[in-house]
Amino acid sequence: MPHKRRSQAWSELKQTGNEYFKNGQYGDAASFYSQAIQLLEKAGPTKHLDLSILYSNRAASYLKDGNCGECVKDCTVSLDLVPFGMKSLMRRAAAYEALERYRLAYVDYKTVLQIDCNVPSAHDGTNRMTKVLTEMDGLSWREKLPPIPTVPMEVKEKLLQASAPAQAPAPNTQQNGIKENDKPGKTLKEEGNALVKKGEHKKAVEKYTQSLKQDPAEVTTYTNRALCYLSLKKYKEAVKDCSDALKLDAANIKALYRRAQANKEMKEIKACIEDLNTLLRIDPKNIPAEKLLLEVQKTK
């Protein structure tokens, strides 16, 4: 019976971490993942897969907050527990790239492509690293690479089966007649995302602004820029971006939550509560929203 309670506790902590991550509260998400890891490590050696996922999730939180060193550590632990996990490899590659450890990033991107050659972001990463390493080391850059591990065939098959439902589209996949790689503003948005991971929010705002000039109907660019404005304490700008996002998607959780955060900072308590109540009607189990609502209700 105690073991059952422990199992429920870590899974609930993981779910809470997921909710905070979804709302852009990456520090809080990492804290809940840490608590879940501590509990699960006490459960014994049979929980390797669950532990690997938790370490990978915490790594994603660190990456989003620009804490690339801790991201690398957690991804490495995750991969020790479950070798060749694609999410952990991709997150570690992105962290290595941000840390300018380009050879190691190249190895991780290439390892992902051994598992699944149809991952666009791994192709993009490999191409970026090839360009950078050629500029650094000349045509002999491959000679300076660490060994690239060989992924066993049985591991490839197992990993592909496990990840099949969530596979990203191939590079030439068309959506509504538009090739994903040809979508306007995509590159600028990704550059903005990379800057956010490094904690360079002011530069990220510039990239998102350029991206929106090319694709003004991209909801996530507005919510991403709003997150930057919150970090820069430009709350009016954050409110405007969230409002623009909600004009395009009235049920957007991130836009509602981030506008509520901005309104709280500006002492616009009524508007903050309205957004949180709307959010909770859409997602009744959103723990960060519930917590923020309790906080602002105390200030009324």
Output the DSSP codes for 18-32.
Answer: HHHHHTT-HHHHHHH
Question: Which candidate, 21, 53, 22, 20, places its Cα nearest to that of 37?
Answer: 53
User: Which distant-in-sequence residues (6+ apart) come within 8 Å of 45 by Cβ?
Assistant: none
- Whether 134 and 29 map to the same domain: the answer is no
- Three-state secondary-structure class, residue 83: coil
- Whether 188 and 210 map to the same domain: the answer is yes
**102 band by pLDDT with thresholds 50, 70 and 90:** very high
* Domain's final residue, options 82, 111, 143: 82
- Which pLDDT does position 215 carry in this prediction? 81
The total number of structural domains in the chain stands at 3
- Whether 58 and 155 map to the same domain: the answer is no
- Whether 196 and 286 map to the same domain: the answer is yes
pLDDT, one tens digit per residue, over 146-175 is 999 988 887 777 766 665 543 333 333 333
Q: Confirm if 204 and 192 have CB atoms less than 8 A apart.
A: yes
Q: Confirm if 31 and 39 have CB atoms less than 8 A apart.
A: no
- Three-state secondary-structure class, residue 49: helix
Q: Confirm if 206 and 222 have CB atoms less than 8 A apart.
A: no
Domain presence at residue 111: yes
> What average pLDDT does this structure show over 175-184?
36
Is 181's pLDDT higher than 60?
no
> How high does pLDDT run on average in the chain?
84
Is 219's pLDDT higher than 50?
yes
- Whether 199 and 153 map to the same domain: the answer is no
Q: Which domain holds residue 273?
A: 183-299
pLDDT, one tens digit per residue, over 17-49 is 999 998 888 899 999 999 999 998 887 666 788
Domain presence at residue 250: yes
Is 2's pLDDT higher than 80?
no
Domain presence at residue 88: no
> What average pLDDT does this structure show over 291-298?
90
E strand or H helix at 267, and its extent?
none
Is 288's pLDDT higher than 60?
yes
- Whether 136 and 73 map to the same domain: the answer is no
Report the alpha-carbon distance of residue 163 to residue 169 in Å, rounded. Answer: 13
Q: Among 101-110, 121-130, 226-235, which stretch is predicted with the lowest mean pLDDT? A: 121-130
- Which pLDDT does position 119 carry in this prediction? 85
Q: Confirm if 274 and 243 have CB atoms less than 8 A apart.
A: no
Report the alpha-carbon distance of residue 128 to residue 93 in Å, rounded. Answer: 12
- Whether 200 and 292 map to the same domain: the answer is yes
Is residue 250 classed exposed, middle or buried when 0-12, 13-18 and 19+ CB atoms within 10 A define those classes? exposed
Domain presence at residue 66: yes
Amino acid identity, position 191: E
Is 296's pLDDT higher than 80?
yes
Is residue 99 classed exposed, middle or buried when 0-12, 13-18 and 19+ CB atoms within 10 A define those classes? middle
Tell me the CATH number at 209. 1.25.40.10
Report the alpha-carbon distance of residue 239 to residue 271 in Å, rounded. Answer: 11
Report the alpha-carbon distance of residue 222 to residue 295 in Å, rounded. Answer: 26
- Whether 191 and 279 map to the same domain: the answer is yes
Report the alpha-carbon distance of residue 199 to residue 67 in Å, rounded. Answer: 8
How distant, in Å, are the alpha carbons of 181, 186, 258, 259 from that of 296? Answer: 42, 37, 14, 13
207 vs 155: which has the higher pLDDT: 207
Q: Is 138 left (phi over 0), alpha (psi -120 to 50) or beta?
A: left
* pTM as predicted: 0.62
Domain presence at residue 240: yes
Domain presence at residue 115: yes
- Which pLDDT does position 274 carry in this prediction? 94
Domain presence at residue 268: yes
Is 183's pLDDT higher than 50?
no
Domain presence at residue 12: yes
- Which pLDDT does position 162 carry in this prediction? 60
- Whether 214 and 285 map to the same domain: the answer is yes
